[in-house]
Amino acid sequence: MRVLVLHGPNLNLLGSREPEIYGRTSLAAINRLIRAWARRTGTEVAIRQSNSEGELVDWIQHAASRYDVIVINPAAYTHTSVALRDAIAAVAVPAIEVHLSNPAAREPFRRQSFVAEVAVGQISGFGIDSYLLGLEAARAVGRRQAVRPRRPKRGVRPAMARRRRRSIAGARGS
């Protein structure tokens, strides 16, 4: 299974930015934990961080042909980015939203998540364990995807859907 982990804006400052909210663990340390988890579970992971909304959107769009699941901490873009929401909705890759803190227990403006509307699930408030829980959820989603073939989009005839699944499966094997 292949998982894309995306870190949103300001997460590169973890460890020094508001440690009373986000903790003292750096992003580099979180990435090491993610890579250790990947080795332990035999999962392929790619990890990216950007402060740029457009770059995050580009990575989400490219995930469609490369990854089985996206684990994303959209950070501040959670509450503002229709572009991230639309990118996730547009690709056929399930996304799991994670947050170190619990946005619902913070300022009122943080309680709205555009990403949650299109994510298969949301994990928040567990500090760095939110990422590990998100990765475990990604494995569960990936296993379900492997067992059940994806449903064809509305309006697609079954024969066309079977050809598309075969061509997708063939592309993944390369």
Enzyme catalytic residues: 22, 99
Check: CB of residue 74 under 8 Å from CB of residue 84: yes
| 53: number of Cβ within 10 Å | 18
Torsional class of 58: left (φ above 0), alpha (ψ -120 to 50), beta (otherwise): alpha
| Residue 125 three-state SS | coil
Check: CB of residue 85 under 8 Å from CB of residue 112: no
Q: What angle do CA 48, 90, 50 make, to 5 degrees?
A: 20
Reading across the β-sheet that carries 121-124, which strands appear in turn?
44-49, 2-7, 69-73, 95-99, 121-124
CB under 8 Å to 15, separation ≥6 — which residues?
A: 23, 24, 25, 26, 27, 29
